[in-house]
């Protein structure tokens, strides 16, 4: 049987990395064959993306790198899913729809960022079976990110609040696929909600 492709999304500091790893570990303990992965990936394409973020490269160029990394990543994940592995991924296409949707808004050369981003994703064959959106106000998320010393140019409160709103719009449009999980509270409480969002049909 084909494996499930489960994606964790949320703004920086929402706790996705920790929660997605913990959920993957739990599914493995339950006997599933699980592969945890993330975007940007740890490949040459992903490193190019990280360099573009750190170097504050031109946003259209950075967008194309995110999508190139994803096309390669989806290609690599396809055989795992076909073999029945469960894939848990920290960020995927909704990161680009939300973050780059906000970043590219108002550019005269990209009159309809959402349509352009969706067109680019026609080249990404793989769609998630379930997206767990860890939702947290930007101020709380930023405080978490700062506490671990991990802030990058994307991490500014009003920017993140706009990205959060973009994510919530995407979730409202696809409630079956995208489950919104309250990311406030103790790690155990958030983990339990996230696991429920993965398991519930
Ligand atoms: P990370 O903090 O989850 O490693 O992601 C790095 C940054 O890149 C983060 O601020 C979110 C941003 N990002 C996008 O803007 N678009 C994307 O498609 C992805 C995967 C990440």
14-48: pLDDT as tens digits: 999 999 999 999 999 999 999 999 999 999 999 99
Residue 90: its pLDDT value, please?
A: 98
Q: Residue 151: CB partners within 8 Å, gap ≥ 6?
A: 12, 142, 145
Residue 151: its pLDDT value, please?
A: 61
- Measured from the Cα of 39, ligand 1's closest atom is 20
The residues that bridge with 180 in the sheet, in sequence order, are: 133
Strand pairing category for 130-135 and 5-9: parallel
CA–centroid distance, 45 to ligand 1, in Å, is 14
Residue 192 pLDDT greater than 60, yes or no: yes
CA–centroid distance, 93 to ligand 1, in Å, is 10
Binding pocket residue ranges, ligand 1, CB within 6 Å: 12, 39-40, 53, 66, 91, 95-96, 99-100, 152, 154
Residue 154 pLDDT greater than 60, yes or no: no
Quote the CA–CA distance of 25 and 28 in Å, as a whole number: 5
Which pTM was predicted?
Answer: 0.95
Substitution site in 91, 117, 160 for ligand 1 pocket (most atoms within 8 Å of beta carbon)? 91
With H, G, I as helix, E, B as strand and everything else as coil, classify residue 178.
strand
- Tokens found for residue 25: 């570990």
- Model confidence at 13, in pLDDT bands (50, 70, 90)? very high
Cβ atoms of 121 and 41 closer than 8 Å: no
Backbone φ/ψ region at 134: left (φ over 0), alpha (ψ -120 to 50), beta: beta
CA–centroid distance, 147 to ligand 1, in Å, is 18
The residues that bridge with 182 in the sheet, in sequence order, are: 135
Mean local confidence (pLDDT), 96-124: 96
Residue 201: its pLDDT value, please?
A: 84
Quote the CA–CA distance of 92 and 53 in Å, as a whole number: 16
Best CA proximity match to 130, nearest among 35, 33, 200: 200
Best CA proximity match to 182, nearest among 172, 170, 169, 168: 168
Cβ atoms of 37 and 89 closer than 8 Å: yes
Cβ atoms of 39 and 46 closer than 8 Å: yes
Report pLDDT digits (tens) over 68-91. Answer: 999 999 999 999 999 999 999 999
Residue 125: its pLDDT value, please?
A: 86
């Amino acid at each position: 049987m084909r494996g499930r492709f489960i994606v964790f999304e949320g703004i920086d500091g929402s706790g996705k990395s920790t929660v997605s790893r913990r959920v993957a570990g739990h599914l493995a303990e339950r006997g599933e064959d699980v592969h945890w992965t993330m975007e940007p990936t740890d490949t040459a394409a992903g490193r190019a993306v990280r360099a573009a973020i750190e170097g504050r490269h031109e946003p259209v160029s950075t967008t194309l790198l995110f999508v190139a990394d994803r096309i390669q990543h989806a290609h690599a994940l396809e055989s795992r899913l076909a073999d029945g592995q469960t894939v848990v991924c920290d960020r995927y296409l909704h990161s680009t729809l939300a973050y780059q949707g906000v970043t590219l808004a108002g550019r005269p050369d990209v009159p309809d960022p959402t349509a352009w981003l969706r067109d680019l994703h026609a080249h990404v064959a793989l769609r998630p079976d379930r997206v767990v959106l860890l939702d947290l106000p930007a101020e709380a998320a930023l405080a978490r990110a700062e506490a671990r010393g991990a802030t990058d140019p994307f991490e500014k409160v009003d920017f993140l609040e706009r990205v959060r709103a973009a994510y919530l719009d995407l979730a409202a449009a696809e409630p079956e696929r995208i489950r919104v999980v309250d990311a406030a509270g103790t790690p155990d409480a958030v983990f339990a909600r996230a696991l429920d969002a993965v398991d519930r049909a």
